[in-house]
Amino acid sequence: MRQVVLDTETTGLAPEDGHRIIEIGAVELKDRRMTGRDFWSYLNPEREVDAGATDVHGLRAEDLEDQPRFAEIAGPLIDFLAGDELIIHNAPFDLAFLNRELERAGARIRRVEEYCPILDTLPLARRLHPGQNNSLEALCLRYAVDTSERARHGALIDARLLAQVYRAMTMGQGALGLQGPGTAHPGSVQQSTPREPGTRRPIPVTLHPEDWAEHRDFLRRIDQKSGGQLMWRTDLDTVT
């Protein structure tokens, strides 16, 4: 199964006010693993960048004068996205900008939703963690995703971070065990039938050795951040 995780950076908050995309990044997943095949470009917005936006991503209009216009990358972008599920955090924001840019690019280019199904990870995160901060930054912290290479917002690096967060949110392991005993765990999956205390229901899963190694590293990072309160310590100690 192929999926694409996408993020954009913009000159401001509202495409209806003439704001434009200035960076776009998309990451390919196949069978939930990043393949290393990406789509990325800075873009010349042909307008000024709001100071508040520059504070977020560090980009100014003068930095982008030699970059392509959106119309120049619209075809290759659609070729990269078309036919596969598109994963975006707070999808209405990015889609509003993308569809406005596609409209500018020409009549033959349709709306993104006509090319691929959309999965918005923000509603998913809100269902898993109701009443909590579900920004990408908060989710990276919650799921122990390493953000050390992210000095500022950037479309490609944020797409890569979102890919890791999406995988963590949908790997079916329930609560992360970051809180003390007896407290509710954010994102825990409710069981359909009650279980006796101390029993574990096996989950049938087949993983490659590299998947087990990645799983164990993920658990170790959670264990470190939670001060040794990891729920799956048996998995951590025994998976080789």
* DSSP secondary structure code for residue 53 in this structure: H
Give me Rg for the CA atoms of the chain.
Answer: 20
* DSSP secondary structure code for residue 63 in this structure: G
Alpha-carbon distances of 238 from 64, 186, 211, 215, 233, rounded to whole Å: 51, 26, 15, 12, 9
Joined tokens for residue 206: 């087949």
- The torsion defined by the Cα of 225, 135, 98 and 123, in degrees rounded to 10, comes to 100
Q: Give me the helices (H) in the chain, please.
A: 51-57, 70-81, 91-105, 121-128, 136-142, 155-169, 209-225, 233-238
Nearest to 98 by CA among 110, 80, 89, 108: 110
Contact 174, 187 (CB under 8 A): yes
Query: What number of other Cβ atoms are within 10 A of residue 147's Cβ?
Result: 14
Q: Cα–chain-centroid distance for residue 37? A: 16
d(CA 150, CA 184): 31
Catalytic residue among 153, 185, 208, 215: 153
Annotated active-site residue 153? The verdict is: yes
Q: Which residues are catalytic?
A: 153
